[in-house]
């Protein structure tokens, strides 16, 4: 099955990038993150429900070609997500659902790469790196960008204001 990059698939790649587990294509984390990933994988029809495997704190499936495809997208992140569109919004919504936090009105990524920081900067988001976290200078702009695509924080009070 030939895989084509679509916005919902960018969400899966974003969440997988920062929360990936050791097994197959999957994530490691708490219940809400696992639910988001599982639902996104099933919605994009990457695998069947019976082939989605679970561990103690992980969920994953196996597909070598998809894993190679995902890694190629991540390697080309600077070029793939250089425009403010549904593709980059989905990717960063997945990334935020995996490693983002909203605490006391501040919005930040607790885990990120230099590429992530560069792409966000090119998209017009200003950030501050402090204590290994990436804080958004204008969090409501970023949240408005990812709001239609985030799953984990969809019901958060700050997103409801936007």
Residue 59 lies in a domain: yes
> Which pLDDT tens digits describe the chain residue by residue (162 residues)?
578 999 999 999 999 998 998 889 999 998 899 999 999 999 999 999 999 999 889 999 999 999 999 999 999 999 999 999 999 999 999 999 999 999 888 999 999 999 999 999 999 999 999 999 999 999 999 999 999 999 887 777 777 777
Same domain, 114 and 72: no
CATH code of the domain in which 124 resides: 3.10.28.10
Same domain, 67 and 11: yes
Task: Please give the model's pTM, rounded to 2 decimal places.
Answer: 0.93
* Overall domain count for the chain: 2
CA distance 156 to 2: 36
Domain membership of residue 112 as a residue range: 79-160
Chain centroid to CA 76: 15
CA distance 2 to 132: 38
Of 53, 78, 103, which residue constitutes the final position of a domain? 78
CA distance 162 to 147: 8
């Amino acid at each position: 099955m030939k895989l084509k990059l679509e916005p919902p698939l960018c969400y899966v790649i974003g969440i997988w990038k920062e929360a990936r587990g050791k097994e197959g294509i999957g994530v490691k984390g708490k219940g809400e993150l696992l639910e988001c990933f599982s639902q996104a994988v099933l919605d994009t029809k990457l695998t069947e429900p019976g082939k989605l495997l679970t561990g103690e704190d992980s969920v994953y499936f196996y597909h070598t070609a998809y894993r190679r495809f995902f890694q190629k997208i991540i390697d080309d992140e600077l070029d793939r997500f250089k425009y403010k569109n549904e593709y980059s919004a989905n990717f960063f919504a997945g990334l935020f659902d995996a490693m983002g936090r909203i605490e006391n009105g501040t919005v930040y990524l607790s885990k990120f790469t230099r590429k992530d920081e560069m792409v966000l900067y090119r998209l017009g988001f200003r950030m501050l790196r402090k204590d290994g976290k990436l804080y958004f200078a204008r969090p409501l702009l970023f949240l408005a960008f990812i709001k239609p695509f985030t799953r984990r924080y969809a019901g958060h009070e700050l997103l409801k204001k936007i």
